[in-house]
């Protein structure tokens, strides 16, 4: 086996070991992937308890006051610095303890109230969202909540509830989404009392300002079935400890008010009691944390989208061109319609996933991944359309608009802020991979032990074949027959009811097509990522259609069926989704995916020199080599600071 193949196999094993395999509770999306349209799992649409909503209301008013009084997003964007006074005031009202239990001094909010708060922040200042959500959605509080010991919780959660900011340290200069290549290493000391941590972590959101970190690092490997197995573990690290250094503070296209940078750990003594869970559980802890943590970004994106639709309405109505409001021109009205229906779909997904999270009998790992993928991609599209509708004013900064007396709509900043959503906490490409893996899970569990047996596998080949035949004999024929049944909807019109029938038919069609495609490609399917992406996008659209229709039905019921605009929004979105779904089926049947690889290889093999005429180096001479106090890390163009650490 080549070195590359061995590294790939190791990475795959790590990823598989980190997955939570069994579904202890129902998952609407997992059932959808199997061809089962479980409308009963999302209808009636989960509602926030009245008492819970009232509990959050007082905080929402305090939050709005702090934002309006102490947070100036236009100045934060211009100066690239978030005011400490604003952080202090946010801590004072408990914003850093929203997801921390009341037993430890937090607010103990439900996911619904937490999502409401992030929606408010997202409509006003995305940098604020990042400070708060990176701290408690993916920072130290969530891993401790899920895997921490009582002693760890008692020691650290009260501190963080009061405002001691935390961060999540996983990415490294040479390591992105492939944890097998992680270089940070922690080894138990000779006396067994602490771990010695060494390594470098990059793009740690909140990191340069954090008091506490959850750090992922390799620990000594273990032998499993005669093979060495990489172990990645999670630790709580206090930034005041000797050897923790902030090497570099990063600047970004957007989110100009966040604190993000590169941290170094040089012989840091981490007490053994600061190990979260057990050795080797690091990736599982990270994935479990992100399952719920990913819902923060969609909630914030939804808040920004709602403000955008409200804002574009006035502009489209009042701006007159060629004798009528710009919103009356069909090319613009289509964009406005898509912005509104997309925002309604985002709301549906956010509140469905948040409501499921607050219930004890749902597994939302797939819903969270879809919410993150769908809402961040959609938010970017909404921003792009809004800039186009606003024209030159969309491209001009809010500060410039204000200085010359125009309404300072911050869509230019919003677009820059929204772009990172498609990258961090799992890029859209990583979300595709996660969802594709889960989509194939039933077939992998049945067929992979046959096609790629693992060392020490106990079940006989005959037994595996028998189990597979039993499953497929019952499952596959059923994919050709409508399930039928009463969806028990009272307020959906005929058009929306037809969308429900379409979802039921096409979740079965999707499951059949996945099975056929896997039979065609077998082990090679993992290389057909574009095909897998087509399937994921079909599944995503079917899920969002379901959420949108359930939300519309719920909205109509709560408002006595008097306002039918939710049905309009749901109908428009579902019609567009159906067109995308059919297009993805066509791309699965007939495509030119291999051509993409040929062209990409030509680019990487430097065979396109003839194309690069009449250009200059994109960098002035000064920037073509790193400054004297940095070096370029191996296999990366990312400079690594080697000079004095940046002062905290």
Residues classed as catalytic? 425
Q: How far is the C-alpha of 407 from the C-alpha of 422, rounded, in Å?
A: 29
Q: Residue 418, Cα to own-chain centre: how many angstroms? A: 13
Q: How far is the C-alpha of 209 from the C-alpha of 285, rounded, in Å?
A: 23
Cis peptide before 122 (omega within 30 of 0): no
CA separation, residue 505 to residues 37, 244, 285, 340, 537 (Å): 9, 56, 37, 27, 16
What is the number of other CB atoms lying within 10 angstroms of the CB of residue 635? 10
Q: How far is the C-alpha of 576 from the C-alpha of 335, rounded, in Å?
A: 13
User: If you search the block for the tokens 């943590």, which residue do you land on?
Assistant: 293
List for the chain the helix, strand, coil content (%; round to 5).
60, 10, 30
Q: 49: which 2 tokens?
A: 């308890």
Q: 423: which 2 tokens?
A: 């990258």
Torsion of CA 109, 112, 369, 251, to 10 degrees: -70
Instruction: List CB contacts of 99: < 8 A, sequence separation 6 or more.
Output: 106, 109, 114, 136, 137, 141, 142, 145
Contacts for 79-88: CB closer than 8 Å, 24+ residues apart: 79/256, 80/251, 80/256, 80/257, 81/257, 82/127, 82/128, 82/131, 82/257, 82/258, 82/259, 86/128, 87/131, 87/163, 87/165, 88/163
Query: Rounded to the nearest 5°, which phi and psi values hold at 566?
Result: -60, -35
CA atoms 145, 150, 155, 158: torsion sign: positive
């Amino acid at each position: 086996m080549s070195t590359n193949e061995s590294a790939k196999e190791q990475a795959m094993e790590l990823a598989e070991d980190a997955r939570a395999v069994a579904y202890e509770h129902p998952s609407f999306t997992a059932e959808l992937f199997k061809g089962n349209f479980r409308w009963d799992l999302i209808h009636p649409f989960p509602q926030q308890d009245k008492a819970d909503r009232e509990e959050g209301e007082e905080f929402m008013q305090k939050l709005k006051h702090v934002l309006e009084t102490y947070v100036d997003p236009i100045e934060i964007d211009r100066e690239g610095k978030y005011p400490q006074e604003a952080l202090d005031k946010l801590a004072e009202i408990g914003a850093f303890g929203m997801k921390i239990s009341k037993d430890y001094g937090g607010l103990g909010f439900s996911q619904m109230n937490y999502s409401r708060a992030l929606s408010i922040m997202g409509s006003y200042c995305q940098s604020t969202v990042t400070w708060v959500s990176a701290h408690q959605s993916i920072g130290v509080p969530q891993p401790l909540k899920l895997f921490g010991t009582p002693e760890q919780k008692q020691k650290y959660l009260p501190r963080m509830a009061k405002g001691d900011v935390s961060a999540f340290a996983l990415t490294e200069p040479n390591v992105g989404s492939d944890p097998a290549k992680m270089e940070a290493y922690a080894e138990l000391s000779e006396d067994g009392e602490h771990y010695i941590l060494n390594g470098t972590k990059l793009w740690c959101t909140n990191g340069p300002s954090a008091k506490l970190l959850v750090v992922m690092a390799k620990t000594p490997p273990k032998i499993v079935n005669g093979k060495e197995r990489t172990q990645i573990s999670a630790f709580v690290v206090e930034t005041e400890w000797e050897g923790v250094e902030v090497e570099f503070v990063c600047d970004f296209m957007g989110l100009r008010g966040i604190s993000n940078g590169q941290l170094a750990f040089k012989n840091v003594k981490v007490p053994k009691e600061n190990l979260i869970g057990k050795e080797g559980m690091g990736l599982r802890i990270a994935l479990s944390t992100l399952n719920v943590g990913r819902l923060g970004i969609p909630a914030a994106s939804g808040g920004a989208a709602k403000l955008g639709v409200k804002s574009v309405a006035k502009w489209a109505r009042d701006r007159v061109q060629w004798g009528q409001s710009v919103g009356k021109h069909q090319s613009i009205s289509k964009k406005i319609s898509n912005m509104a229906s997309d925002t309604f779909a985002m709301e549906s997904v956010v509140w469905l996933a948040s409501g499921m999270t607050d219930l004890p009998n749902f597994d939302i790992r797939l819903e969270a991944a879809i919410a993150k993928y769908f809402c961040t991609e959609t938010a970017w599209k909404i921003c792009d359309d809004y800039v186009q509708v606003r024209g030159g004013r969309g491209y001009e900064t809010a500060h410039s608009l204000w200085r010359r007396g125009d309404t300072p709509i911050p869509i230019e900043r919003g677009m820059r802020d929204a772009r990172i959503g498609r990258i961090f906490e799992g890029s859209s490409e990583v979300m595709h991979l996660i969802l594709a893996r889960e989509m194939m899970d039933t077939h992998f569990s049945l067929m992979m032990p046959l096609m790629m047996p693992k060392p020490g596998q106990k079940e006989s080949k005959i037994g595996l074949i028998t189990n597979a035949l039993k499953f497929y004999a019952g499952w596959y024929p059923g994919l050709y027959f409508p399930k039928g049944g009463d969806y028990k909807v009272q307020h959906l019109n005929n058009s929306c009811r037809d969308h429900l029938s379409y979802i039921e038919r096409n979740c079965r069609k999707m499951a059949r097509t996945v099975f056929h495609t896997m039979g065609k490609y077998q082990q090679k399917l993992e290389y057909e990522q574009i095909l897998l992406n087509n399937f994921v996008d079909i599944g995503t659209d079917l899920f969002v259609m379901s959420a949108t229709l359930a939300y519309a039905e719920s909205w109509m019921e709560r408002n006595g069926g008097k306002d039918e605009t939710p049905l309009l929004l749901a109908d428009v979105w579902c019609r567009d989704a159906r067109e995308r779904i059919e297009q993805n089926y066509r791309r699965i049947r007939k495509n030119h995916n291999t051509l993409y690889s040929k062209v990409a290889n030509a680019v990487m093999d430097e065979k396109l020199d003839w194309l690069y005429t009449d250009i200059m180096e994109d960098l002035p001479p000064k920037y073509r080599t790193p400054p004297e106090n940095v070096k370029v890390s191996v296999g990366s163009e990312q400079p690594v600071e080697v000079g004095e650490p940046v002062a905290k």
